[in-house]
Structure 1
């Protein structure tokens, strides 16, 4: 059980907080949320899909037959990746190995070893109750269904469960609330679509998980503002005007090269900017760019015109001989244009949520200072 929150309690960094969670196998989405936050915990169901009834059956039998001889089978998918399926519990795990060029028998042997190791770790985690267990609310799932899952978990130990719902379109997310001694509930703006589990709505996921961690650990919620990096490069803050560079629709990039020696290749960094698209422009896309390995992002909403909106992209600088870039991109033709201002590059997976948008209209002297970059 969580204790009383105190201001003096030391709150670990975001990656460490996200490592305190374990997925209960809704699909791969939460595994990508952790990855985008810099956390790579080894979880039995982290990149897995398991129907609720099968998951409950596995918990009730301590996953006894999971990984037993002849239980596992490799199944190629439409995306060209092998999934490993449990015949007993209908657990489908993404091996993240392409069918082409992969030794089937060697991969299957590896999966048997992985399941044996991670199953023992999961049972140990369930016994201590130290981890927060995450399960997305499936379509049509009732409170009684979730209660059956909770009771199956609590057969092992006092784990806290986080039940995550998808907010209704156009509705605000629900704040985290405690609905039982060991049950937390909240929502994110949207779940990842279909087979694109990597396309997560990172901001609301991070906010929900941070609140859940604080409630579970008995600490004050952490500040989720992206911390300014001591080595972050200087970027423009005044208003800049951008237009497409091609007669036919194509990519026009407005970027700057990164000095990779000034960044930790393993840490996530987030670039954000405010953009304003005029009413007469018809771009196909306006978006942010950051580094080699793109993590979370938020493109411009093309239905919003003549008003500032924030775009951002998080990524890692990574390793490589080429220099990655940071900035903005436009897909459109020479008639498409937009404005931008307040470029920021900071360490972290999400931007500063508290930063206010620029004023929609400025007086003469304010415009002059803006043009001069003041």
Structure 2
């Protein structure tokens, strides 16, 4: 499994834990976040314009904040208790500026990776239509300025008649993958790691076979 090619997109932290299993600890924009597919597509279509504005950042859980504009929640140093930030105002504003800088650095890294055209994006959620998946791929392509990146959307309810680990192609660079079930939202590390590895290994092999030209054979 070629873990350096993968780019997590959400919808929660499950894929982040899957990557840890193959010793990939690279920071990435959506690795430790919660965002639904339609909100993610909307954020990408906006090319992140208006993301992480101070007036739009609210407490979500004790160690997560929510960008209410895009319904994008992520782990943050901006701690809260009982729905209110637990840090005094001067320190809170300083910490917000630090967090905003960190997020914008990750946004630029994300854009750069997509623009390279060498990324296999991964999103996981149940209850999705094929049209939503293809719409997300189109949003990725608009940010990238190319259509060379791949997308795997992993579900527990995809192609129920097929065995876990199965991939179904929607286009030459877009697949839907099946695991036995996705981890509960409250325990995102309880992933079906064997099924995930099967989906990702197959998807990576398919993607690299598409995106890399055949090597010239010596005569």
The bucket for the TM-score relative to the shorter chain is 0.7 to 0.9
SS of structure 2 residue aligned to 1:45: coil
User: Is the 1:47–1:94 Cα contact (8 Å) retained in structure 2?
Assistant: yes
C-alpha separation in 2, matches of 1:170 and 1:195: 28
Which residue number in structure 2 is paired with residue 190 of structure 1?
181
Q: Which has the higher helix share?
A: 2
Query: Distance between the aligned counterparts of 2:24 and 2:165, measured in 1?
Result: 25
Q: Partner of 1:74: helix, strand, or coil?
A: strand
CA distance in 2, matches of 1:53, 1:170: 26
2:52 paired residue number: 67
| 1:83 counterpart = 2:74 | no
Q: Deviations over 1:194-233 (max 9, x none)?
A: 31111111111112111111111229xxxxxxxxxxxxxx
- Does 1:109 find its partner at 2:131? no
TM-score (norm 1): 0.48
* Deviations, residues 258-287 of structure 1 (Å, cap 9, x unaligned): xxxxxxxxxxxxxxxxxxxxxxxxxxxxxx
- Structure exhibiting the larger radius of gyration computed from Cα positions: 1
Alpha-carbon spacing, 1:88–1:126, altered in 2? closer, same or farther (3 Å): same
Match of 1:163 in 2: 153
Aligned residue-pair number: 198
Partner in structure 2 of residue 150 of structure 1: 137
Distance, in Å, in 1 between the alignment partners of 2:77 and 2:188 is 13
Instruction: State the secondary structure of the residue aligned to 2:63.
Output: strand
Structure 2 Cα separation of the partners of residues 115 and 97 of structure 1: 13
SS at match of 1:195: helix
**Contact 1:167 1:173 (8 Å CA) reproduced:** no
Please, what is the CA RMSD of the aligned residues? 2.6
1:154 Cα offset (Å): 1.5
CA 1:132–1:197 in 2, change beyond 3 Å: closer, same or farther?
A: same
Does structure 1 residue 178 correspond to structure 2 residue 166?
no
User: Which one has more relative contact order, counting CA pairs under 8 Å at least 6 apart?
Assistant: 2
**CA distance in structure 1 between the partners assigned to 2:70 and 2:176 by the alignment:** 26
Gaps of 5+ in 2: 211-219
| 1:275-302 Cα distance to aligned partner (Å, 9 max, x none) | xxxxxxxxxxxxxxxxxxxxxxxxxxxx
Partner of 1:52: 37
What is the TM-score of this pair, normalised by structure 2? 0.79
Separation of aligned partners in 2, 1:167 and 1:87: 29
Aligned match of 1:202? 193
Work out whether residues 19 and 40 of structure 1, in 8 Å CA contact, stay in contact via their aligned partners in 2. no
Question: What is the CA distance between 1:185 and its match in structure 2?
Answer: 2.2
2: CA distance, partners of 1:186 / 1:96? 33
